[in-house]
Structure 1
Amino acid sequence: MSGDYEDKPQPLIEHLIELRRRLMWAVGAFFVAFLVCFYFAKGLFNILVLPFKWAVSWAGISHRNVELIYTAPQEFFFTQIKVAMFGALVIAFPVIAQQIYKFVAPGLYKNERAAFLPFLIASPILFLIGAALVYFFFTPMVMWFFLAMEQGGGDGQVSIQLLPKVSEYLGLIMSLIFAFGLVFQLPVVSSLLVRAGFITAQTLVDKRKYAIVIAFVAAAVLTPPDPISQIGLALPTILLYEIAIYTARLIERQRAGATEESDSEDEDVAQVPPSQEADNKA
């Protein structure tokens, strides 16, 4: 199977060899990115802590130092490994996506490749938009909500301060990023299903009320137990569902237009008299 995406049949062994080659490139890119990210793991973790610092400023306690703790000797080490894996996945994703496309493309027609490629480009862009929304807005809002529960310790009260563990903070921000990133794939997934003929725009409209309920349930499961993050995930999900409906209608409209154009061309050919067709050939 060559890089020219030939459509001729290939033996099973060649498919397996090609799959191994693509996996080696994908795993190699991830491994190299992991080594680089692990070397800069502490710096990357400090970047992820910036939303916590913004929340401290919003809470009006900027005089207090931002502190995170770890309670097990190996905890911060494994946290750095998770940070490196997270960064490596983001950095290596273009290479991984390219290898997936190169493996799948030979089995697609040219028009299917042209239709598949925009979705392959849109998917990481939408994921990054969701991740940016989490990093710059929702994580500071969530941390501000939890910081508001602190107790100063005056007038006979016990001083209670938020000191997150490094692993728990990383788990929180990673879960939010993945949750929002996956939700932002909704237009891409729905558009592919419409193109494949599995669903229609009318199906999405009919299931809207169920989608709204599922959006709030998923937000309650995927986010921390606070109303800010739950509503913050549910509302974009509903908005993206509406965008998915609009995109599905556009795809169906384009498909209908192409069908009408093809039918009109067939009618024009059928209406040409045999004598005129012979003259045209001559």
Structure 2
Amino acid sequence: MGITDNLISHLIELRNRLLRIAIGLLLIIIALFPFANEIYHFLAMPLLASLPAGGQMIATDVTTPFFVPMKSVLLTAFVISLPHTLYQIWAFVAPGLYTYERRLIWPLISASTLLFLCGMAFAYFLVFPVVFGFISNTAPEGVAVMTDIGNYLDFAMSLFIAFGLAFEVPVAVVLMVKTGIVSVASLREARSYVVVGAFVVGAIVTPPDVISQFMLAMPLWLLYEAGILVANLTQKSHSTGTSSVGTQLAALDE
């Protein structure tokens, strides 16, 4: 009976956290709804700037002009509510963590949010102009490049998510080292495999041009190296702090 009650309490807590996430997301969607068209226009600017003179985007379905801006609002609301969402997730798992693990919550939430936004900004300001410029310049002569607004948003969202998750690599590396899943030495030994994997991921996720693949693979590799560096520094500081405490206890015993 005690185990059942404990399970029910966890399920109730999970429901409450998910409800708070949904309410926070809904409130932001309502606030952004009047600016749906402006948000989509901002997201479409990299493609519009790459189109030849007189080029434009099109809507092939009857409902696309309404639903596509709404999808852009959903994407924007998700990004804005990301800190709140991450906090609710961490608050749910926090009771099962040790005290020193709970201290990592706010740094991890801040770092995860900042890195995800950096990944999206990297895609928007650097990758999109290169990709769309390549696509526009390689179109056969006599072919008008007129992308459907729904297809464009799906493509942009996939790249946003890919680069946002790619920029989370340092957080994942530090977490794996902190939890003891892997060691810094093993991460260094796996460096060559990570480099190959980064280029494979770049080839799968990005369009079929070498430049955009390189622009995803290189940040993945560099962020992996940054994660190893941060994990090594935090590990050293933890071991230094532990040894100093041990020295003080030994002195007290004497």
Q: Which of 138, 142, 145 is equivalent to 2:127?
A: 138
Q: Which of 39, 45, 49 is equivalent to 1:44?
A: 39
Partner deviation per Cα, 1:5-55 (whole Å, 9 max, x = no partner): xxxxx9443333322222211111112223333442221110111112333
> Residue 74 of structure 1 aligns to which amino acid in structure 2?
T
Deviation at 1:76, TM superposition (A): 3.5
Q: Is the 8 A contact 1:35 1:84 kept in 2?
A: no
Matched, 1:129 2:118: yes
Q: Is the 8 A contact 1:22 1:100 kept in 2?
A: yes
Percent same amino acid among aligned pairs?
36
Residues of 2 paired with 1:137 and 1:126: CA distance?
A: 16
Larger of the two Rg values belongs to structure: 1
> Residue 110 of structure 2 aligns to which amino acid in structure 1?
I
Q: Is the 8 A contact 2:55 2:145 kept in 1?
A: no
Matched, 1:233 2:216: yes
RMSD over aligned Cα, in angstroms? 1.9
Matched, 1:22 2:27: no
Residues of 2 paired with 1:31 and 1:68: CA distance?
A: 29
- Equivalence map 1:111-260=2 (5 Å): 111-151=100-140, 159-260=142-243
Deviation at 1:256, TM superposition (A): 1.8
Q: Is the 8 A contact 2:83 2:109 kept in 1?
A: no
Deviation at 1:221, TM superposition (A): 1.1
Q: Is the 8 A contact 1:175 1:223 kept in 2?
A: no
Matched, 1:110 2:99: yes
Residues of 1 paired with 2:31 and 2:157: CA distance?
A: 19
Unaligned runs of 5+ in 2: none
Residues of 2 paired with 1:250 and 1:209: CA distance?
A: 22
Q: Is the 8 A contact 2:40 2:72 kept in 1?
A: yes
Q: Is the 8 A contact 1:130 1:180 kept in 2?
A: yes
1:5 is matched with which residue? none
> Residue 45 of structure 2 aligns to which amino acid in structure 1?
L
Unaligned runs of 5+ in 1: 1-9, 153-158, 272-282
Q: Is the 8 A contact 1:70 1:166 kept in 2?
A: yes
Deviation at 1:130, TM superposition (A): 0.9
Residues of 2 paired with 1:161 and 1:20: CA distance?
A: 50
Q: Is the 8 A contact 2:83 2:110 kept in 1?
A: no
Q: TM-score with structure 2 length normalisation?
A: 0.91
Secondary structure, aligned partner of 2:88 = helix
Higher share of residues assigned helix: 2
> Residue 16 of structure 1 aligns to which amino acid in structure 2?
L
Bigger Cα displacement from structure 2, 242-251 vs 28-37: 28-37
Deviation at 1:94, TM superposition (A): 2.2
Bigger Cα displacement from structure 2, 206-215 vs 35-44: 35-44
Residues of 2 paired with 1:151 and 1:199: CA distance?
A: 50
Matched pairs, number: 250
